[in-house]
Amino acid sequence: MGRTHSNAFSQVSHFFDLPVRPVLQAVCARNVGRAEAFAKQWGYRSVVTDWRKLVESPDIDLVDIASPNDTHAEIAIAAAKAGKMVMCEKPLGRNAAEAEAMVAAVEAAGVANSVWYNYRRVPAVALAKEMVDEGRLGKIFHYRAKFLQDWTISSDLPQGGEGLWRLDAAVAGSGVTGDLLAHCIDTAMWLNAGIGEVSAMTETFIKSRKHNLTGKVEPVGIDDASAFLARFENGSLGTFEATRYARGHKALYTLEINGEHASIFWDLHDLHRLQYFDHRDESRTRGWRSVHITDGDHPYMKHWWVPGLQIGYEHTFIHQAADFLAALGEGKSAPPTFREALRTDYVTDAVLQSAADRRWVKVQGAGAAHAS
């Protein structure tokens, strides 16, 4: 994630006219050698190995957190207290309790803040948002999202440490629920409505793995797979699923919305396309439209290349950086703020609790779900 964030701040001024031009002032990593190599590669002006130095430094305006989940709360709270703007990788906390403390800190400090739910800034997803907001879909009946991966199927894969902390429950907080479903939930609530209640199941297919830090075979604490049924606050039904055991899928985040008049489908593996069906089209020639999101009138795309030429994954981070810097010019925080991201942590907490208790769980802070 360090690379995607550094790239975002490095590239944003090349493609966007913004009121503020970011400077890559300092990079922090525990290993000084790697920090220095990274700084050299990306042009950071300095290097620290203790994040507290960053937080205290007078020449730092913004602290951007791209470290493992168990560090988010401590760093963000300290940074906010020091009056720094804070951007944080998702999920905000390992759980809603951590996230609540983070929200309190940034709001108390009055600092700009944002969470890197980067998929909102895929141009196709941003277009979907515009279309929903324009009322094109009519009343929404169904929302469906999946995030499928296959990288942990081998039982030889260890857990913990460098590159594998996502398998370590103590560091990550949870497995696919916080890692993958969090993305799905953030987009869903943004595009559709709040989630009122959930019924979930989780599974850990491989029960124990060697831990890289202890060297011992230890129980796996994370969820390998997580699926849930949901009722949204607007009366629509949701189905969600994430797993790292779906052979053949690397990062297949898909979402579909079915409305009274129209439906939308999107897929991260072909992120530059949006599938759109509109029942109001003439019946005889009606069909799902494969919209190639490369034209100047598509969100963000006037900043890139001529029509027909696609952009990729890292551009979503550049767009978020651009929106953050543009919002700064207006004295605002670009969404999702910490407060907005907290709502996703409430849902993931409810999912984990529902799976543990084998019952429907109401999401904290949700309005009444329109259950029949």
Contacts 24+ apart (CB under 8 A), 12-15: 12/318, 12/321, 12/322, 12/325, 15/303, 15/304, 15/318, 15/322
Peptide bond into 336 cis (omega under 30): yes
Within a 10 A sphere around the Cβ of 134, how many other Cβ atoms?
Answer: 8
Smallest separation, CB 215 to a copy of itself (Å) = 26
Q: Which of residues 285-314 bind a copy of itself (CB under 8 A)?
A: 285-292, 294-295, 297-298, 304-314
234 touches a copy of itself (CB under 8 A): no
Smallest separation, CB 220 to a copy of itself (Å) = 11
Smallest separation, CB 352 to a copy of itself (Å) = 13
The residue among 185, 191, 208, 174 whose CA lies nearest residue 356 is: 174
Q: Which of residues 43-102 bind a copy of itself (CB under 8 A)?
A: none
Q: Which of 241, 323, 340, 349 binds a copy of itself (CB under 8 A)?
A: 241
Q: Cα(112)–Cα(114) distance, rounded to whole angstroms?
A: 7
269 touches a copy of itself (CB under 8 A): yes
Tell me the torsion sign for CA atoms 277, 278, 279, 285.
Answer: negative
Q: Which of residues 313-332 bind a copy of itself (CB under 8 A)?
A: 313-315
Smallest separation, CB 214 to a copy of itself (Å) = 23
Which residues touch 58 (CB under 8 Å, ≥6 apart)? none
360 touches a copy of itself (CB under 8 A): yes
358 touches a copy of itself (CB under 8 A): yes
Task: Identify the bridge partners of residue 114 per DSSP, sorted by sequence position.
Answer: 87
11 touches a copy of itself (CB under 8 A): yes
Nearer to a copy of itself, 251 or 326 (CB): 251
Nearer to a copy of itself, 93 or 123 (CB): 123
Smallest separation, CB 72 to a copy of itself (Å) = 20
Q: Please, are residues 30 and 52 in contact by the beta-carbon 8 Å criterion?
A: no
227 touches a copy of itself (CB under 8 A): yes
Q: Cα(163)–Cα(165) distance, rounded to whole angstroms?
A: 6
List the structure tokens of 171.
Answer: 């560091």
278 touches a copy of itself (CB under 8 A): yes
The residue among 364, 74, 84, 125 whose CA lies nearest residue 268 is: 125
Nearer to a copy of itself, 61 or 278 (CB): 278
231 touches a copy of itself (CB under 8 A): yes
Q: Which of residues 132-171 bind a copy of itself (CB under 8 A)?
A: 137, 141-142, 144, 148-151, 153
